[in-house]
Amino acid sequence: MNTSPFSARCTRLIERMGAGIAIIPTAAEQLRNRDSQRPYRADSYFYYLSGFGESEAVLVLIAGASPKRILFCRDKDADKEIWDGFRWGPDAAREAFGFDEAYSIKTLDAKLAELLADQPVLWFSLGHEAAWDARIAAALNAVRAQARAGKQAPAEIRDVRAPLDNMRLIKDASEIATMRRAAAISAGAHCRAMRTTQPGRFEYEIEAELLHEFRVHGCQSPAYTSIVAGGANACILHYVVNDQPLKDGDLLLIDAGGELDNYASDITRTFPVNGRFSGPQADIYNLVLAAQSAAIAAIKPGATFIDPHNAALKTLAQGMLDLKLLDGSLDGVIESETYKRFYMHRTGHWLGLDVHDAGPYKDGETWHSLQPGMVLTVEPGCYIRPADDVPAAFHNIGIRIEDDALVTAAGCDIISHAVPKTVADIEALMAEGKRG
Ligand code: MG
Ligand code: MG
């Protein structure tokens, strides 16, 4: 394993800390029921800095004159490894992952008191997990109990997530390579869904096609629960039941992405179950596609996070007026937010280790500016629930088109580009599926 991106990130965090000690635990294992665990996934911050995927592990970073990266992890255990598989153990983990020191997780509480003593600042994600808050408080009190021996506990506690969130906003080369691969696999899954969708199949059958494609190409899991929403279900933004039959004449909205080596992809496509868009479906579809094109054109260094949203919104609002979904003027619709009846979410979010990734959206009062290396989704939509004042031809049409954009020096690179999204290209791919 190439550990250099992880150690480089630790070095950058240590520089940003300036002084003190950072304690970054990984995620706890979670019980699904009785003896069955949920599939384990490391904490994103911990993984970002360590590359270490085992549970029961803690990373400690020391800043200052002699910086150090220290791992606490499970011991080797021949008996447990028969049941649950390989464990690195501290010695091999130190060697393989390039930590300066590594110790048994069993020694953590005793060692924490030593490590915290006389450090000016503790960097920790206070409030993230109550059990860890209590453990850290106990370690601080253990240092304070040694005051008469001249030991001092850190006078200041700062949130380690603040510098890390800023770092995670700009992806390095290794992150970009993983995200490109995750997006390519997910794009393939959406193509497979288009080729295999037919009237009479169930939403969960198409979900299974997606999951097959994610896993067969190496994604460890979906990045989030797949939304496979036929017909009116597409107007439920977080529809995940996926248990209904797909009907001839309906659209199918799929929002799904694979997670590869802990990095998410997040793609949405909407296409006709029978392979041909109706006139009203194509009207709304082409409006959302035009909004997405306007948003993508607004992604470039120096623009702000909100610019793509504003560009999409302007296109959508004008289209809603043209299609008689709304009355009034463009400025009036945007000012009064009447468009929210049909477009109630924002046009994107940061994407990375988390599907809604870490990183600030505002810098004080102003929206964060876009810089090369940032990755964001572009996902305008239009969701039309039946109502007396809405043209009947548009009832129950729900459409979203979502891609993943890497900001580049010249503008942006759509890393999820490999799924068709024009009406003609979608219909051509679906026809291919029917023939094949
Ligand atoms: Mg999505
Ligand atoms: Mg999204």
Distance from C-alpha of 241 to C-alpha of 320, rounded to nearest angstrom:
29
- pLDDT reported for residue 433: 82
Residue 265 in tokens: 């992809």
Q: Is 114 a catalytic residue?
A: no
SS3 content of the chain, % helix, strand, coil (to 5): 40, 20, 40
The neighbour count for residue 431, using CB atoms within 10 Å, is: 13
What are the tens digits of pLDDT across the range 187-198? 999 999 999 999
Residue with tokens 């590359």: 51
Ligand 1 center to residue 225 CA distance, Å? 10
Ligand 2 center to residue 402 CA distance, Å? 7
Residue 147 in tokens: 């005051």
Query: What type of residue is 257?
Result: G
Distance from C-alpha of 72 to C-alpha of 90, rounded to nearest angstrom:
7
Q: Residues of the chain whose pLDDT is less than 50?
A: none
Q: Is 135 a catalytic residue?
A: no
Q: Exactly one of 41, 69, 368, 400 is catalytic; which is it?
A: 400
Residue 30 in tokens: 């979670």
- pLDDT reported for residue 1: 61
Ligand 1 center to residue 27 CA distance, Å? 24
Q: Is 172 a catalytic residue?
A: no
Ligand sitting nearest the alpha carbon of 224: 1
Q: Exactly one of 156, 356, 363, 432 is catalytic; which is it?
A: 356
Ligand 1 center to residue 419 CA distance, Å? 14
Ligand 1 center to residue 238 CA distance, Å? 9
For the chain, the residue count is 436
Q: Sheet harboring 263-264: ordered strands across?
A: 221-222, 258-260, 263-264
What are the tens digits of pLDDT across the range 386-422? 999 999 999 999 999 999 999 999 999 999 999 999 9
Q: Is 103 a catalytic residue?
A: no
- pLDDT reported for residue 434: 80
Q: Is 299 exposed, middle or buried (0-12, 13-18, 19+ CB in 10 A)?
A: buried
Ligand 1 center to residue 268 CA distance, Å? 6
Domains of the chain: 4-167 (3.40.350.10), 170-435 (3.90.230.10)
Contact 246, 207 (CB under 8 A): no
Q: Is 255 a catalytic residue?
A: yes
What are the tens digits of pLDDT across the range 255-287? 999 999 999 999 999 999 999 999 999 999 999
Contacts of 328 (CB under 8 A, 6+ apart): 321, 336, 338
Provide the H-helix boundaries in 239-373: 279-297, 307-322, 330-336
The pTM assigned to this predicted structure is 0.96
Q: Exactly one of 345, 385, 395, 417 is catalytic; which is it?
A: 345
Distance from C-alpha of 106 to C-alpha of 101, rounded to nearest angstrom:
15
Q: Exactly one of 54, 203, 402, 427 is catalytic; which is it?
A: 402
Strand partners, 367: 362
Distance from C-alpha of 49 to C-alpha of 156, rounded to nearest angstrom:
23
Ligand 1 center to residue 98 CA distance, Å? 36
Q: Is 283 a catalytic residue?
A: no
Q: Is 400 a catalytic residue?
A: yes
- pLDDT reported for residue 3: 74
Ligand sitting nearest the alpha carbon of 348: 2
Q: Is 156 a catalytic residue?
A: no
Ligand sitting nearest the alpha carbon of 400: 1
Ligand sitting nearest the alpha carbon of 346: 2
Q: Is 217 a catalytic residue?
A: no
